[in-house]
Structures are given as C-alpha cells and as structure tokens.
Amino acid sequence: MTSTMRVAFGVTLACLAVLPGCARGLPTCRPPVAADYFRVDYRVRAEGGIVPRAEVRAANRFPALRSLWTEGTAAVRLPDKCRSEGAGGGTGALQQGSLDRAILSTECGFWLAEIERALVKAKYKVVSWNALTQVEHTKGVPTYVAARDLGADFVFLVNSLEAGTSKLGKAYTESLHFYDSDAAGTRGAPRELEDDDRGALKKFVQGRTEVLRNEKLVTGIKAILDMTALDTKTGEAVWFYLKQEAKPVPLSLDRRFLFAQYRNAPPPRNRPPWWPVLPRGQREQAKAAESKKSAVDEESREGEPAPEDAYNAEVNELVRNVVDDFMIRFRGEGG
C-alpha cells in the first residue's frame, strides 16, 4: 500500500470514528450536526422557617431608670424548661452551686454564660442564677422580689430562647426554570418547551437532586431571644426585647443543568431530542474524575447531610451576636 493510499485510509477511519454521516469507501464527510443549548435551573426551599426580626420597646420611665442602674446589679431568670434536678454539668454562674442543686441544660447554660459575659463587660454585677432560683422556691416569692432580696436593681426574665439548626423538613417547595443557553451554560432568555419535554426534563433533574429533598438536610442556623427587664423595686416591666436571627449554611439548594438539542435535524428514533452535556470549561475536569453523572451542576456539593454538631461553632457565634445586640440596645447604644 502506497503512502498516499495509507493517508487516505487513515482519513476515512477518522471520519467514520467521528462523524456518523461518513459513507463507505472514500467518503465525503458531512459537517457535525449543529446543536442548540438550553439550561434548566432547579431550586428547593423549606416552607416557613425563622424570619430575621428585631423588636425593642421601653416604658416611659425606662431611660431614667437606666441612668440609675449604671454599673448596678443585674439578675437573670431563665425559663423553667432550662431547669432540671440532680447532679451534672452546666455553665455560667451555675458552676458556683453545689451538685445537688438545679442544673441547666447545655443550650441554656451557654445562653446564660453569654448573657452574663455581656453584663459583666458592661460593668454590671450579676446575681447567681442558682441563688435566684433558690430564693424564689424557698421563700415562695416572685422573681423580682427574690432578685431584690439578693441586691439586684433589675432582673431579666427570659421568656424564651432557642438556638440550633433549621432543616428542610417535609414541607418544601421546588421549582424548575428553563432558559436558552450556550456551550458554556450562560443563562439566556426564558425558553418555551412542550409539556412532554418539560415532564421528561423534570423527571431527569429530580432523579439527580434527590439528596436536596432529604428532610434532615440542614439549611440554616437560628438563634431566638425574647426577654423582659423588670424594676426590682416595683416589679414593673420596663423594657422588652425580641430578636430572631437566622443564617443560611454554606450549602447551595440550587442546581443548574445544561442540555444540547439537535438543530435542524431529526432526533434519534425512540430517544429524546435533547441530551445532557458538561458546560465548556468543565469537560477536562470531568475527564479526570470518575464519571458518575451525565449532567453536572456547576455549584453541586452533593453528599449526605452534615451532622448537626458540625454547625455548633456557627450556632454559638450566632448566639453571641444576638446577646451582643441585646446588650447594645439595653445600654441605648444602638439607637
């Protein structure tokens, strides 16, 4: 076989390997079938959830009282749900008590420690929570009287507190949006699709986003503090504070899928007229990784839901932020 014939034969094989339109023998190869691209954006969101909120109200005489309480003595009364009996751990002022006294749950103990920290930083003296509860129960007196007997000028009644993670739960909404695109996955104008195609694409996408619909999936962290300040001389409620803080975790609940579609050419028999593709720029990365999917989301961080304790540090930081906000507002430094 001459070198010229060998070259021609090589070209033929290359055409047959790459282009389905090559004929037998010495073919004339057709250009590749052109494709249009479109994008499907998927998102899921939990219904309801904590909405960030801050509310502060004060009685008319509160500014005058606050000026008298500068560097005074404060007491903190936590909800009854925080109190349990028996030996155990705890944080904050409780550590000053004996083991057979009331103890705090871990969550309440952390809140108390942070509230006490903020009060001490603001130059207030702080009555032991344990001593306050002991006086309340042994003397059978209201909280403000027990706080006054212990030398407190004012007492914070914590009506409720909560900190932890928010989960997707069973009540959620999901949506799909279709857009024109290009080989790089750029979002274009909204795209109209036939109902059959929309249904098939929805089935395809849902099959690859199942992990996002896990009801135990942590979607955010939250901290809630609701408290009232009482004047211990009169028992009057003179200041009210409510703070709800929420923060999403660094997890994307959105997915983007890119599809190609034949342009001016009939689709293969018994197959959809579209197929999933990798956006340009990700193809080399995908070749180096194990091919587990036929469509890849640019922002996908799929996997099992992270355990709740993985967010402890972030939850604690959110609690500190709420407590710092409470102290700033109580001191009249936040407007």
pLDDT along the chain (335 residues), means of 10: 39 33 42 79 84 93 95 94 53 34 72 96 94 94 97 96 89 92 94 90 93 87 96 97 88 87 69 84 64 46 58 92 96 77
Angle between helices 312-330 and 106-121 (to 10 degrees): 40
**Residues 6 or more apart from 97 whose CB is under 8 A from it?**
128, 130, 131
Q: ∠51-52-58 over CA atoms, to 5°?
A: 120
Predicted pLDDT at 305: 55
Predicted pLDDT at 319: 96
Q: The pTM is what?
A: 0.66
DSSP state of 263: S
Q: ∠196-198-199 over CA atoms, to 5°?
A: 65
Predicted pLDDT at 264: 67
Q: How many CB atoms lie within 10 A of CB 208?
A: 20
| Beta strands 35-46 and 83-84, pairing class | unpaired
DSSP state of 108: H
- Minimal CA–CA distance to 83: which of 109, 110, 99, 102? 102
